[in-house]
Amino acid sequence: MKFIIKINFVIALIFSLTSVSNACNFVKENMGTSITSLGDKYDLFTLAAEDDYGSDTVLVEFDTPNLCDDPLLDETFLKVYVREKKLIGIQVEALEAKNTNKIYQFAQNNFGLDDEKAKEEDWVGAIDISFGDNIIIYGKIDEPDGIYETLELTNADYQDFLIQSDILQITN
């Protein structure tokens, strides 16, 4: 009987750890993933594979809770960059200029960000926490109405496409 209880406990523990650690799989998707695959995994990812924008870089915004189940990202939106029907970049941005450091905490939990200075209320700048081909940049941007947190994810193959001036923004 004790053996069955232990097995049930281990199974429950595995399922609970899996759900906690995978709270926002969308930002961990590999750059270059097809939008068809993303549409299959995420019901609310509404960019259709039939849409053809050629070689233009396309930007679509999503409410983060539609694609991520992480309370740290509840007050954010996602900018999703697509080119040639492939995911090429993601930006997580705060909805308001509240200095809650929630995106910082998310980056710390998921990508190992550790910089005490960046947690300061009036700090503005960027921190590169890239590894391998993955380019990950955490930052705080000073705007007229306050400081906004942001997290950008891409890779070496696609990073230049995120800073071009001819990005086509479409409505979701």
The predicted structure's pLDDT at residue 50: 67
Model pTM? Answer: 0.82
Supply 1's token pair: 């009987």
Handedness of CA 94, 98, 104, 109 (dihedral sign): negative
Which of the residues in the chain have pLDDT under 50? Answer: 1-22
The predicted structure's pLDDT at residue 20: 40
The predicted structure's pLDDT at residue 11: 40
CA atoms within 13 A on the CB side of 163: 9
166 and 81 in contact (C-beta within 8 Å)? no
Question: In one letter, which amino acid is 102?
Answer: K
The predicted structure's pLDDT at residue 49: 64
CA atoms within 13 A on the CB side of 65: 5
- Provide the domain limits for residue 68: 2-170
Domains: count for the chain: 1
The predicted structure's pLDDT at residue 4: 45
The predicted structure's pLDDT at residue 45: 87
